[in-house]
Every structure is written in structure tokens, then in C-alpha cells.
Structure 1
Amino acid sequence: MSEAAHKAHDAGYTKMDAYSPFPIEEVSHLLAPKRDPQALIVLLSAILGGGGLFALVTWFNTSPYPWNFAYPMNIGGRPNWSWQAFIPVTYEATILLAGFGATFGMILLNGLPRMYHPVFNVPEFARASVDRFFLCIEATDPQFNRQQTQRFLEGLNPLTLAEVPHDQTIHPATPRS
């Protein structure tokens, strides 16, 4: 599996996935995305949460307009823009939106909710978690050409070679009569 994944990576294939009964460290490094945007999503969510709430609280307390929802509060003789009082709620909003960004960013980056993948239609794939190793090169790969990719995979001497159907509809079990 490791040798096949290295050869596919060296041949220029980037959109591929490996399935095995146990994790293979060197294969996972080849399949991992080069740049993970998750940290940037969390950072931007935290900045949006903290900065947005700080601006909102500042506007609520310093707005010169006599609107009923934006009025200055004189609490304890402090000035209207007492930024130290805004820090606890700003901190909480920063953490809350960073958590939301991490959760929803992970869900979107993982392509969830995807309960079904067309590779499950291949009969041989049922043994992927038992004793077989599978390397799947996707048709959306820029290097993919059906004939060339098939010749390349045949050169790796696999036990079987199967084409994954593109049908992405879930076929429900037929009811018994």
C-alpha cells in the first residue's frame, strides 16, 4: 500500500484516498492536504466574535443618538466608554465564536454530512476493514485520464482493479414481500 501510494503521488495524482484495516503513517502524510485552513477559520471566527461584540458594546454605551436600545449607562460614576468593563463579555464572545468556527469549519472541511460514498458500491470494498488495502484515485484529479490511470494502476500489480461508479444516489434496500 505504501509503495503504491508513493508511486501514485510521484506520478502527480493528488486527489486520492487510501483504505486499510489499520492506519499507515507514511500513506497518511501523502494524502493529507498541504495547507489546512482550519486554524485560519478559527482565528477569523474569534476575531469576528471578539471584535464584533466589542464594537457592539462600545456603540451601545457611547452612541449619541437617543434610541431606546443604544443609551449610555452611568454605572458607578464610570465614563461611558469604560473598556475594562467590556472585556469579560468580549472574551466570552471570542471563545464562543472560535468554538463555533472550529466546529462548523471542521464539518464543512470534512465534507460532512456525507453519509455515503460511491466506493461503497464496489463489492470488494466490503473487506477494506478486514484484510484488504485499497487506493482510490478520484476522477476529479487533474492528472486523471481513464486509460492512462488504468494502465498506471495495472502496473502496480493489484489483486483486483475496480472502477467506482459515479452514481451517488443511495439505493435503499428492497422491501421483502
Structure 2
Amino acid sequence: MPKEQGRKLVAQNKKARHDYHIDDTYEAGLVLTGTEVKSLRQGRASLVDGFVDIEHGEAWLHAVHIPEYSQGTWTNHSARRKRKLLLHRTEITKIEREVSTKGVTVIPLSLYFNDGRAKVEIALARGKKAWDKRQSIAERTANREKEQAVGRYLKGLRD
């Protein structure tokens, strides 16, 4: 059987970019059991409540929901167990240093397979205030209206 090629998205935390300012992103490998991988290959996971914690020099992914594999037996995994992240030592120390500052947290942005290996994209993030969220929505709306106006102009339509 040929090796899997490319990137296959499993889950994405769409609300993260709305609720947080993203400072820096990292790609990390995951230590998974067999039934977790099979469940992910079916495209089943949720990153909504997930966060990353550094414990004793190791990065751990908490509260990410990977449901039990439907054809699994007694060897099935727990759906919300903590999972170890595979990062370089320098990345872990940099993340740990950033998290020690006030208001910075580490959240998962997406979970995917890259050339057959499970990866998670994590980000250093700062929480947005309510007015920041309204401002980003207003900017997005203004950009959309601007693009629509340019498109109408190029097609020869006038308002």
C-alpha cells in the first residue's frame, strides 16, 4: 500500500482566531494509541476546549475530544485523556517562557495528518476583549464590502 501523501485536515478550532490574538504558531507531533489514530482517520475530533500545558519539561495537550473508535474493543482509549506533544527542547523552553508572562496561553488551532503522521498546530495566544472582537468583525465586513465594490467596478456595474 502506498504511503499517504500531503496534508489531510481532521479538525480545526475556528473560534480560536475569533477569541484570541495569535502571536506564534508551532507544529507538534502527537503520541497516540492505535484506536485514537483510527478514530482520527474517520475525521472525528474536537479542539474546542483544548489547551496545552508544560509539565516537567514536556508539553501536554489537554481536553481535546477524540471519540472512542466504534469498532474498538476493551483496548479503546479514553476520549478526553491528556496527550503528549512532540516538540524540540528549544521550542518547549520558548513556549514555557512566553506562557509565564501574563495573559498568554497555548491553544490548538488544527489537527491534521501530514504524510500519514498525526500533527497538531498550536499557537501562543492572548485573549481578545469584547471591543477587539467587534473591531475585527467590522474590519472583516469593511474588507468584504471593498472587495465586492472593486468586483462590481471591474465588471462594469455601477452602484
TM-score interval, normalised by the smaller of the two chains? under 0.3
- TM-score of the superposition, structure 1-length normalised? 0.19
Structure with higher strand content: 2
Q: Which has the larger radius of gyration?
A: 1
Structure with higher helix content: 1
